[in-house]
Structure 1
Amino acid sequence: MIGMLLLLCCSLVVLCFLSVQAYENLALHQLVWQSSTWLSDTGAQRAVDGRYTGRCAESFNNPTAEWRVDLTGVKNIHHVFIQHATGIWWNWDFLGFSVFISNTTNKEDGTLCFRDTYHTYHTRATITNPINITCLCHGRYVIYYNNRTHPPYPVGYSRYTRIGLCEVEVYGCRSLGKYGENCSLECPQNCQNGYCDIVEGTCLACKPGFKGPQCIGKSPLYIKI
């Protein structure tokens, strides 16, 4: 239940400029996985090696494409930075991609943080690369996903999709119970499991007996008569 509450806290803002560096990159050199690999030197780890150019994480043309990074534990996430591979042939391959934040390796257990749609965001003429996706969530796995399983597709979409990730950076606080731009502030002591909003510091849920954004006031059930 707590995991569900944490994952439901996500909010979304898309920013089209280079990554803000105030938070720590939690994904750098962490364990990664992808659904298929094109060449031996285009494995999933290429997307977390700290390099924006050169070899990228790449997969075959498939009906679905999935990549994920393990942050080694539940982290307080602020935003995800994605640098796709560039070139005309890549543009239509990653149209329609999604980003999920999950406490398991299954995206269905998590929360949809972002979905690129033809009608509300990208076409081949309006692609933003790189892209920053603000996603205020707690989670262990950041999952990149795309599919071509429900034709017909919008104009400009490829028939198949594939992974073409040169770098994925996940910015947030490494230590739970922290918030603020430099992760230097303590979450209120009565936040359940110490989890609070990474920007505002408000509790996502309160320990039993407390209520309010800062979990300071006593719940009526715990007030003695």
Structure 2
Amino acid sequence: MQNTTYWDNIAERAVDGLKSNLDKHGGQCALSWDHQTTAEWRVDLGAIRSIHHVSIQYVTGNDEWDEDNWYTRTFLGFSVYVSYTTNKEDGVLCFRDTSYTRATIPNPVNISCPYHGRYVIYYNNRTHPPYPAGYHEYAVTYLCEVEVYGCPTTGYYGENCSLPCLKNCTCHILEGTCMGCLPGYKGPRCTKECDDNTYGLECMGSCGNCSNGEQCHHVDGSCPSGCNAGVHGKACNEGIHNKSKLYFNLTYKLD
């Protein structure tokens, strides 16, 4: 998905494995329309994945990538997120460019991103002028290939993704250190289930509307005996103003 699409240069071209022609019109890159203040592209990995890093190959026009290449200006200021949802604000910021120049920005660029999530999101904006020297005045996505590397299954770490993480823990893909708990669990070693009418990631979901004051399911927020009068939905939080925010972070290499 990308928020705008330049002609037929659809978002899927950035994950089709093709990067032999890096020209804007070469048919292998995902392009957004120019004259936009924000540009966003994302890929759905299909499930929660354990990420190590993200590699991004940008449009070059098949010219040498240096400070004289026109496309360098369009890449400056970009960000990469991973998230459980399609909303980048619900996820983790892996990288935000604040120091690259047209002479120093690499292409391809490798972004370390040792997190968990389902969506990898590329974002750039031109919403707060004036911009640093060398920046293109508009936000665009000129992505020829985005590759996400890591373990295909959560719960493991190590060079061959063969070492198990602590139970109910999302661990660092290389070191195995616990970086947070799986949805429904809390505590320093993620051994305690959510309670006090909470559920989900970091126990941030609110489910205080279960019938008879029962505690909801610690993972998905469902109520064992249904909802109080006036509310409905799986977590009995529809029909009321719900400010809870559920999120998480992750990904892997697309084959």
Alignment partner of 2:75 out of 88, 94, 114? 94
Deviation string 1:156-186 (CA, Å, 9 cap, x unpaired) is: 1111121110100111111111111221222
Q: What RMSD over aligned residues (CA atoms) do the two structures have, in Å?
A: 2.0
Task: Please state which structure has a larger fraction of its residues in strand.
Answer: 1
CA distance in 2 between partners of 1:110 and 1:86 (Å): 29
**Count of aligned pairs between the two proteins:** 175
One-letter code aligned to 2:16: D
Gaps (5+ residues) in structure 1?
A: 1-32, 217-225
Deviation string 1:132-152 (CA, Å, 9 cap, x unpaired) is: 111111111110000111000
Change (3 A) 1:178 1:135: same
Task: Please state which structure has a larger fraction of its residues in helix.
Answer: 1
CA distance in 2 between partners of 1:102 and 1:149 (Å): 23
Equivalent residue runs for 1:209-220 within 5 Å: none
Corresponding residue number in structure 1 for 2:87? 106
Alignment partner of 1:204 out of 179, 196, 212? 179
Which structure has more relative contact order (CA 8 Å, sep 6+)? It is 1
Share of identical aligned residues, percent? 59
CA distance in 2 between partners of 1:205 and 1:39 (Å): 42
Q: 1:76 aligns to what SS in structure 2?
A: strand
The alignment status of 1:183 with 2:172, answered yes or no, reads no
CA distance in 2 between partners of 1:205 and 1:105 (Å): 20
Corresponding residue number in structure 2 for 1:76? 50
Deviation string 1:77-116 (CA, Å, 9 cap, x unpaired) is: 1100001111422111111000011111011111111011
CA distance in 1 between partners of 2:31 and 2:93 (Å): 23
CA distance in 2 between partners of 1:209 and 1:136 (Å): 20
The alignment status of 1:57 with 2:30, answered yes or no, reads yes
One-letter code aligned to 2:92: T
Deviation string 1:27-48 (CA, Å, 9 cap, x unpaired) is: xxxxxx01111121x1111110
CA contact (8 A) 1:100 1:142 kept: yes
Corresponding residue number in structure 2 for 1:36? 4
* TM superposition shift of 1:67: 0.1
The alignment status of 1:125 with 2:103, answered yes or no, reads yes
CA distance in 1 between partners of 2:186 and 2:126 (Å): 48
CA contact (8 A) 1:53 1:166 kept: no
Gaps (5+ residues) in structure 2?
A: 22-27, 62-68, 192-255
* TM superposition shift of 1:51: 1.5
CA distance in 2 between partners of 1:180 and 1:149 (Å): 40
CA distance in 2 between partners of 1:206 and 1:57 (Å): 35
Question: How does the TM-score come out when normalised to structure 2?
Answer: 0.64
Question: How does the TM-score come out when normalised to structure 1?
Answer: 0.72
Larger Rg: 2
One-letter code aligned to 1:204: M
CA distance in 2 between partners of 1:204 and 1:83 (Å): 29
